[in-house]
Amino acid sequence: MVFWVFSAVAVVAGWRVFCTDSMVRASFLLLVSFIAVGAIMLLLNAPYLGFATIFMMGVEMMVMALFMVMFMMNPAGLNPMMMVHQHRFSIAAGAAAFVGLAIAIFTTGFPHDPVAAGRPVIHDLGRELLGPSMLIFESAGVTLLATMVASVILSSRSGRFGAADEGSVPPPLEPGGEPAGRRPDDEGGGHAHHHH
Amino acid sequence: MAMSLLGRFAARAPVPVFPAVGRDGEVRLDVLSLAPALRVVDSPRHASILLVSGDIRTADRDSLARVHDQLAHPRATLWWGTQPRADTGAALTVAAAESPETALRDLYRRLLTGGHTSETHWLADEPPNPWRGRGDHGQGGEGMMGGVPYGRMMPMPPTPDLRDGLALDVYTAQFGPFLPQLPPGLVLEITLQGDVIQSAAVVRPPFLPGRDASAPFDRVLHEATPVAAIERARAAHHLRCVARLLGILQLAPQAARCRRTALKIERGGSIDLAPLRKTLRRAGAFAAIPAGLGPIDAAWAAELGGPAARAADQARDRRETAPAYRNLDFRTLCQSGGDVRARFTQWLDEAEQALALARAAGDAAIEKGAPVETPWGHRAPPSVYRLTDMLPGLEWGEALLTIASFDAAAVCRMAPLGIENP
Amino acid sequence: MTLLIASWIAVLLFGAWCVAVLDNLALALIERRSAAGALTAPLYGAAALLRQQQNRTEAPDLLNWKLAPALYLGLAAAGVAVVPLAPGDILADLQAGIVLWGAVEALTVVVVFLHGWSANSMLALIGAYRYVAIGLPVMLLSMFVLIAAALPAESLAVSAIVESQRSLWNVVRQPLGLPLFLLLGLSLSFRGPFNYADSADLAGGTAAEVSGASRLLWEFARLAMLAAVAAMASTVFLGGYLGPVLPGPLWLLLKTAALLIVLVAASHLFARLSPARMLTLLWVVLLPLAFVDLLWAGVVAL
């Protein structure tokens, strides 16, 4: 029963991610979905993994929401916007992922016996993570860190070779139209003065 | 029954008051805020009573109505030393010379027990800018980012590199004239990137420090005034300025202590400022003000005059040559930094010195009409140096510290209206 | 079990009231005025907020705005639930109790952000962003410290961590741990030098637009969260219910009260740095210190 409630929450929240009109709401709906998954892990007698999922996802979704609001042109993410794009590609990617995961579920042999009551699951998990799986675990961690550092470097305006947006022109509001906003050339010295 | 019990309990809480400070309403509010039966709050949402202290400019009436409508029910307005709005019917007023403390308590009790009906909106309850979004999600048009909601360009305009090269989208809003963290009357239109100020412009200037014939610095124009009274008034003024800075540094009890000390000094108490100073140093008040924040150079300092100039190493003080100070061993105090921290230190130093002078002065007096060093700088004319030029690139709290580090006269001269930035 | 639930609710209510009273006393002491009525003031203040109407801003995210205070209180309650009152008397005796506490810290950052963001108001939003920037590194720091405290116990269960302190309290074993963890307490309930969410320069920050019962719940949750941190700190670093002569729960109460006095004093005695300088301090000084604490604990455990 509890399992079904959490599963429903996870699925519905995951679906709502794509229906909402704000990046912040989308991030935290995804967080709700992950928390429900974490709760299911707790039900499966995986306390460390369950809490760690909730804990890590809390931080990750927070950072993701913040970075999206920062890098997208939407003040604070409260201006409504459409959260879906590249429809055909995403439908194809979604279908492929669903089929792949479904096949994986049906071909994997899951254990049927419940975990013994007194078994030190966290101890066993630690042995596994820092033993045979150490290489995968660590390389995934380092890759994620490198990605984060690289994305900040790429999105920063000041770089080794001067301002990153030098000579760039903002996109037009209509196809083929005038570039929107102020152009860097108009500014003279990069100081924005306020005119009434 | 339960409701009335709750009401009676609530009436015993300190009265939550949001002050809307008009002309000359600030000092008496500082004094009132020390009353234990009141709590002066920072946001109109936290208040039950709007206390209008001092005359409101015509231009500020709309802002006042907007603030009033943000108070949660049950709410009421008390007009302190000013004429109420014409359309408010039976408005409650208190004369400027009286303390509204009992009136506020009484009004609050009647509000909670149903003896006074809650005030209705002064403005129509509608958004100041109608929503003009189009599309499935109101995103304003086709595509992911939509078109131009609120008539605003969605693609990010090029922005100056203010902090770390990560450009954020900008947000423009007007702040003031009743924001407690800004000088009363000042309205700034500020464009922010996150919490960093990108540009600022003056919409309405702050109020000049008023003329009050009973205050020592104005009394000396009409009659001979004791040096002790002048110096006490100076110390009290400086301590109130220090209190404003401390509030922004999240040191509310220390700020209240400064205000309390200022009041005691005005009432003739003999106060040693050394313990207060020690408390502030231990609280890290000096260290919490970033070094080099809000610097002014020599020419700028010379134009402002007063403690702000002396904090930038300009040893100019009328008291050096004044005959009344000749026997008092007066020595001009200076700081070398010229930044916010230096002005903060200068106020404390001068307050301490003023109290020492007041003690030593005995019954020495300044003659009628003699030039006297005021606690603020020159009052006129508008300066070529602009407050709005200091703010870009500062974080919100640092910007407030910078503004609060100047006395009212200096802010007035640096934030005049109607003159474009050069 | 009923007794445990009752004491759990009592800890939250009584803890919050204690913090409010201590706050009043500290303010009176610093301002040098009389502290008359400090005991009853929190109750009258609560009644005043209950009599106030709940307001609305223009186009808020109403669901998140109304939910945030309740979620915040729920997180404080979850934090208290893993604290053992006496040997075996623990509401939620989890194998991974410390990790649950970590989740509480992480979700607090989310909830405070949502509270500020959903009001659709400028100053509240700045408070929300600032809190994320400061709250995340403080949380990292506390994670290092908590893992260090779990090392001698060789377990992630809070009860095991208490039992591991029978010979020596963790505050002696790892002297850096307690002060760093207390910083987390100030940050989780955004008080004094760590008040970046509801600060004075933002006219109340994330709570600037909130009135009435919502505000009461929010302020109550802040007080309860501080009490939760103090209870957790006394359990992890001061041996919790361990102590001679007196019964266990009383020891826990005394230690928690002592830490609360320290926390309340710190939250009124120190000025707040600007966010950028605090961020530098956190990443450059305090995080390495927390790492040293972890290394120290590791070397000692070996």
Mean pLDDT across B114-123: 84
Task: Chain A: list its partners (3+ Cβ pairs within 8 Å).
Answer: B, C
More confident residue, C169 or A72: C169
| A23 interaction partners in chain B (CB closer than 8 Å) | none
Strands B187-193 and B196-204: antiparallel
Grade residue B149 by pLDDT with cuts at 50, 70 and 90.
very low
Its pTM stands at 0.87
Given CB atoms, is B142 within the 8 Å cutoff of chain A?
A: no
Task: With CA atoms as reference, report the closest residue to B20 among C235, B136, B57.
Answer: B57
Assign A113 to helix, strand or coil: coil
pLDDT in tens, B150-201: 444 444 555 566 666 666 667 788 898 899 999 998 999 988 887 888 888 8
In this model, does residue B408 exceed pLDDT 80? yes
| Distance from C-alpha of B136 to C-alpha of A1, rounded to nearest angstrom | 37
Q: What pLDDT sits at residue B258?
A: 93
| DSSP, res A79 | S
SS3 of chain A: helix, strand, coil, percent, to 5: 60, 5, 35
Distance from CA of C283 to the nearest CA of B (A): 16
Distance from CA of B1 to the nearest CA of C (A): 14
In this model, does residue A101 exceed pLDDT 90? yes
pLDDT in tens, C244-273: 888 888 898 899 999 999 999 999 999 999
Grade residue C73 by pLDDT with cuts at 50, 70 and 90.
very high
Distance from CA of A143 to the nearest CA of B (A): 23
Mean pLDDT across C61-82: 90
pLDDT in tens, B218-261: 788 888 888 888 888 899 999 999 999 999 999 999 999 999 99
Task: With CA atoms as reference, report the closest residue to A75 among B167, B215, C169.
Answer: B167
Mean pLDDT across C211-226: 93
C114–A54: do the CB atoms touch at under 8 Å? no
Q: What pLDDT sits at residue B124?
A: 82
**Which residue in A43, A62, A119, A125 has the most chain C C-beta atoms within 10 A of its own C-beta, making it the best mutation to test that interface?**
A62
Which CATH entry fits the domain spanning B2-113: 3.40.50.150, 3.40.50.460, 3.40.190.10, 3.40.50.12280?
3.40.50.12280
Grade residue A99 by pLDDT with cuts at 50, 70 and 90.
very high
In this model, does residue A193 exceed pLDDT 50? no
Mean pLDDT across B104-130: 82
Mean pLDDT across B371-394: 84
In this model, does residue B364 exceed pLDDT 60? yes
* Most confident stretch, A169-183, B377-391, C12-26: C12-26
Task: Chain B: list its partners (3+ Cβ pairs within 8 Å).
Answer: A, C
Query: So where are chain B's domains?
Result: 2-113, 154-204, 216-378
| Distance from C-alpha of B104 to C-alpha of B180, rounded to nearest angstrom | 20
| Distance from C-alpha of C194 to C-alpha of B354, rounded to nearest angstrom | 35
pLDDT in tens, B25-60: 888 888 899 988 899 999 999 999 999 998 888 888
For chain C, positions 131-190, list CB contacts with chain A under 8 A: 132, 136, 139, 156
**H or E segment at B11?**
helix B2-11
Q: What pLDDT sits at residue B143?
A: 47
Q: What pLDDT sits at residue C182?
A: 93
How many CB pairs below 8 Å do chains A and C form together? 65
| A171 interaction partners in chain B (CB closer than 8 Å) | 155
| A181 interaction partners in chain B (CB closer than 8 Å) | 153, 155-158
Q: What pLDDT sits at residue A195?
A: 38
